[in-house]
């Protein structure tokens, strides 16, 4: 037993890459650390996992404590375990990413939420720990996933224009804005899958001619998949 | 500090779903446990991670100790951390899958390798711990991956016939043998990507007319991807 006991000296944490989409930009929610190690540095929101807590539960807790949101898109991505990644001892971290609608979002009064701030993906500097690597890997996962699963809609308001949807894809895929994807092809592709529903109302409060609003329809998507088709943008 | 110390009482392990393809069947390499807990049950090969060992290194070590193989396909899939998943304490496990060529494989003289045995995927009974769940998740990952990345070739001998390749896909995707995929369409699809090279020699030692042998060509595949195409079966 004593040989086995020497292994029970580790801890593990969850870290959550919370993506949002605002002002045409893909953003990530970061926390400015108030304590050592890496005091003052920006970091991914995360926490040690309690002894009696499942991993997904811990990731949901971190998200809810920070944003007040429950039941949003959350996916385990990869576990990072370099031997020297944490100064306090052997701590491996299970990385998740979440997709949230920025319009639903309000920072909670929790003390650590006060130091939270949205950063444009293109404007993230050096982060604490190995968090730049974790962010990169989660972004790559999102970039693959957004092309073959309807996860991009999690980042948009319930009702959106096709221009907003295209901007979302261009932003996630790091393509030039309004130029990265061919507008006609993009619209043809997305509408041909028949997973969007046209809303009765039009866009409001814009200077140009109001555009049509659309909603993603989960039932139509399930039908689309049941018929053997694959989401593909 | 004492509050933090209470978190440093966990251990973590790696478990490796080692897939092979033999006799037209997808197989998984399992170990019969010689000690408690779950003595006598079949389990995935795995081990606790040493305090000074990276996660990937631990997974490579388990694979090499068992099979003598290095540098084979290995991918981290998911971390499993249900609170009560291990009777000795809080142990989370990082699951990997490997793809090996059964023809390259020989069990090493290591003592735990003596109890290893290939099982057809369709013939895996109740495993120790949460290993049935881990196997299921890794199999699902392989099923997705084999369709959009050239990983299936890792399971075949260097030179293979198109019939063998089709049987591999049917077996991984759990489709009826020689009926699951339309033969003409399958051949057209795989050959149109131009990632296979026809070998000069033909199949040997078969009763029927010998078939052409092919090899997967990594350089052609890299070129195919660089041109913006995607592997898709």
Q: What is the pLDDT of residues A111-133, one digit of tens each?
A: 666 788 999 999 999 999 999 99
Least confident of A15-24, A56-65, B33-42: B33-42
Least confident of A89-93, A207-211, B80-84, B193-197: A207-211
Q: How far apart are CA B91 and CA B109, in angstroms?
A: 28
Spatial separation of the C-alpha atoms in residues B8 and B2, rounded to whole Å: 10
Q: Measured between CB atoms, does B121 come within 8 Å of chain A?
A: no
pTM of this prediction exceeds 0.90: yes
- What span, in angstroms and rounded, lies between the C-alpha atoms of B51 and A6? 9
Annotated domain spans of chain B: 2-148, 156-226
Q: Which pLDDT belongs to residue A2? A: 59
CA distance A148 to A144: 7
Q: Are B4 and A52 within 8 A, CB to CB?
A: no
Among A135, A180, A104, smallest CA distance to A28 is for A135
Put simply, the chain B residues between 29 and 68 with a CB less than 8 A from any chain A CB are 48-55
CA distance A139 to chain B (A): 17
Phi-psi label, residue A122: left if phi above 0, alpha if psi -120 to 50, beta otherwise: alpha
The answer on pLDDT for A7 being more than 60 is yes
Cα–Cα distance measured from residue A92 to residue B81, given in angstroms and rounded to the nearest whole number: 12
Distance CA A2, CA A4 (A): 5
Largest CA distance in chain A: 74
Reference B56, options B96, B105, B108, B91; nearest CA is B96
A158-179 mean pLDDT: 92
- CB–CB of B81 and A52 under 8 A? no
Nearest CA in chain A to B79: A79
pLDDT for residue B6: 84
Predicted pLDDT of residue B75 = 97
Structure tokens at B28: 């998984």
The whole-angstrom distance between B114's CA and the closest CA on chain A is 23
| Residue A137 near chain B (CB below 8 Å) | no
Q: Please state, rounded to an integer, the average pLDDT across all residues of chain A.
A: 92
Q: Does A228 touch chain B (CB under 8 A)?
A: no
Contact A54 B82 (CB under 8 A): yes
Task: Using alpha carbons, select from B104, B136, B108 the residue that is nearest to residue B31.
Answer: B108
Given an 8 Å threshold on Cβ–Cβ distance, is B90 in contact with A48?
A: no
Mean per-residue pLDDT, B167-196: 92
Contacts of A141 in chain B (CB under 8 A): none
Give Cα A188 to chain centroid, integer Å: 26
DSSP structure class, residue A22: E
Closest of B18, B19, B28, B21 to residue B165, by C-alpha: B21
Residue A98 binned pLDDT confidence (cut-offs 50, 70, 90): very high
Give chain A positions within 8 Å (CB) of B79: 55, 76, 79, 94
C-beta separation of A54 from A76 below 8 A = no
The verdict on A76 touching B (C-beta cutoff 8 Å) is yes
Q: Which of A94-98, A183-187, A213-217, B64-68 is least confident?
A: B64-68
Q: What is the pLDDT of residue B112?
A: 65
The answer to whether A7 contacts B11, with C-beta atoms less than 8 Å apart, is yes
User: pLDDT by residue (tens digit) across B127-164?
Assistant: 999 999 999 999 999 999 999 899 999 999 999 999 99
Instruction: State how far residue A15 is from chain B, nearest Cα, in angstroms.
Output: 13
Q: How far apart are CA A211 and CA A206, in angstroms?
A: 9
Contact B51 A10 (CB under 8 A): yes
Among A87, A100, A207, residue whose Cα is nearest residue A157 = A100
Residue B2 in this model has a pLDDT that exceeds 80: no
B86 pLDDT band, cuts 50/70/90, is very high
Is residue A180 within 8 angstroms of chain B, CB to CB?
Answer: no
Query: Which residues make beta-bridge pairs with A96?
Result: A16, A76
Q: Does domain A2-148 bear CATH number 3.90.79.10?
A: yes
Using CA atoms, how far residue B135 sits from A201, B18, B87, B95, in Å, is: 48, 10, 20, 9
Query: What was the pLDDT predicted at A1?
Result: 45
Per-residue pLDDT, averaged over B14-37, amounts to: 94
Report the residue from B51, B52, B90 with minimal CB separation from A51.
B90
- Out of A52-56, A188-192, A224-228, B129-133, least confident range: A224-228
Nearest to B20 by CA among B45, B37, B39, B1: B45
| Structural contact between residues B98 and B56, judged by C-beta atoms closer than 8 angstroms | no
> Which of B11, B91, B97, B148 to mutate: most A Cβ within 10 Å?
B11
Please give the residue of chain A at the shortest CA–CA distance from B58: A81
pLDDT band per the 50, 70, 90 thresholds, residue B64: very high
Q: A12, A51, A8, A75: which is closest to B83 by C-alpha?
A: A51
Of residues B121 and A176, which shows the higher confidence score? Answer: B121
* Confidence label for B1 from pLDDT (cuts 50, 70 and 90): very low
- Pairing label, strands A25-32, B42-43: unpaired
| CB B64 within 8 Å of CB B34 | no
Is a pLDDT exceeding 60 seen at residue B225? yes
Cα gap B210→B205, rounded to integer Å: 8
> CATH second-level architecture of A156-226?
Orthogonal Bundle (1.10)
What pLDDT does B60 receive?
A: 97
Q: Mean pLDDT: which of A34-38, A174-178, B74-78, B103-107 is highest?
A: B74-78
Give B42: exposed, middle or buried? Use CB within 10 Å, 0-12, 13-18, 19+: buried
d(CA B68, CA B55): 19
Contact A11 B12 (CB under 8 A): no
CB contact at 8 A, B123 and B28: no
Q: What is the mean pLDDT of chain B?
A: 92
Distance from CA of B82 to the nearest CA of A (A): 5
Tell me how far apart the alpha carbons of residues A31 and A110 are, in angstroms, rounded to a whole number.
12
Q: Which of B51, B53, B76 sits opposite A9 (nearest CB)?
A: B51
């Amino acid at each position: 037993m004593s040989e086995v006991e020497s292994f029970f000296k580790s801890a593990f944490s969850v870290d959550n890459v919370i993506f949002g989409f605002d002002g045409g930009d893909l953003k990530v929610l970061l926390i400015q650390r108030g304590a050592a190690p890496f005091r003052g540095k920006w970091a991914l929101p995360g926490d040690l996992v309690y002894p009696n807590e499942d991993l997904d539960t811990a990731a949901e807790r971190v998200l809810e404590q920070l944003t007040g949101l429950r039941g949003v898109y959350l996916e385990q991505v990869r576990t990072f375990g370099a031997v020297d990644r944490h100064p306090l001892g052997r701590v491996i971290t299970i990385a998740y990413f979440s997709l949230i609608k920025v319009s639903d979002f309000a920072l909670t009064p929790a003390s650590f939420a006060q130091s939270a701030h949205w950063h444009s993906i293109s404007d993230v500097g050096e982060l604490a720990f190995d968090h730049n690597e974790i962010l990169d890997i989660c972004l790559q996962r999102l970039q693959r996933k957004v092309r073959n699963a309807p996860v991009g809609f999690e980042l948009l308001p319930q009702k959106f224009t096709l221009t907003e949807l295209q901007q979302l894809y261009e932003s996630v895929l790091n393509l030039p804005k309004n130029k990265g994807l061919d507008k006609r092809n993009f619209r043809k592709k997305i509408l041909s899958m028949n997973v969007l529903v046209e809303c009765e109302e039009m866009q409001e409060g814009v200077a140009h001619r109001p555009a049509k609003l659309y909603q993603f329809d989960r039932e139509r998507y399930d039908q689309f998949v049941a018929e053997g088709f694959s989401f593909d943008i």
